[in-house]
Structure 1
């Protein structure tokens, strides 16, 4: 059976000679996501990884503030969000399907907007899908 240090090194945690650990952001995010599951407690999850509970609490705060992007929730089924384009003038929504003859090279000059409540995040039209997904996951659980 692997020791805690061997287990952590397998996940990419840098453990120095004096015992200090440097946790990659990806691992921090996975641990935070685990601590947010129903029934999980900060103390129990922290103990499982040999962490102090206050470190995990700090990581959770970073995730809430958008400084740590959590992995997508693992679900058995798919969950799709409806995508609607709007001209911002309060007119009827336009389906997010390009018209025939429209530029299909993916380089539209229209910026991407993500609206959550009264906050609108504007991104350049060339923003990569992976970055958009990170942002949506980071704000996904907020009203």
Structure 2
């Protein structure tokens, strides 16, 4: 009996393939061909990455200088009883110029670092 034809890809391989599609001049079709997969599968992984469900490898540092972003720590607000008509806002906000990114309070530090790195690379 033949197998289902479905292949299980390790998360690292998925992340690497998606990262390769983000390189200048790369196309989803070309990267998919190198990995022996259909382009629509790779596109689905790209969607997962955009939703934060697939963590991409950190970009390799080239000869570009390292950029640092200031971090502002604030005293936490004292706990308050939630208003019955409002849900609590247990989130983390990253502010970079005019851009504010809201993340869940339990967002892994690695993901936060990747986002900060990406914001710094885009400036």
Residue deviations 1:7-38 (CA, integer Å, cap 9, x gap): xxxxxxxxx94432001111101000001100
Structure 1: gaps (5+ residues)? 1-15, 88-108
Q: Which has the larger radius of gyration?
A: 1
Size of the aligned set, in residue pairs, is: 103
Runs of 4+ in 1 over 4 A off after TM superposition: none
2:94–2:100 contact (8 Å) kept in structure 1: no
Q: TM-score, normalised by structure 2?
A: 0.64
- After TM superposition, the score normalised by the length of structure 1 is 0.56
Check whether the contact 1:46–1:53 (CA below 8 A) recurs between aligned residues. Answer: yes
CA 1:49–1:85: 2 relative to 1, 3 Å: same
Counterpart mapping for 1:49-68 below 5 A: 49-68=35-54
Are 1:115 and 2:101 counterparts? Answer: no
- SS of the aligned residue for 2:112 comes to helix
Name stretches of at least 5 consecutive residues in structure 2 with no aligned partner: 78-91
The two structures, once aligned, show a CA RMSD in angstroms of 3.3
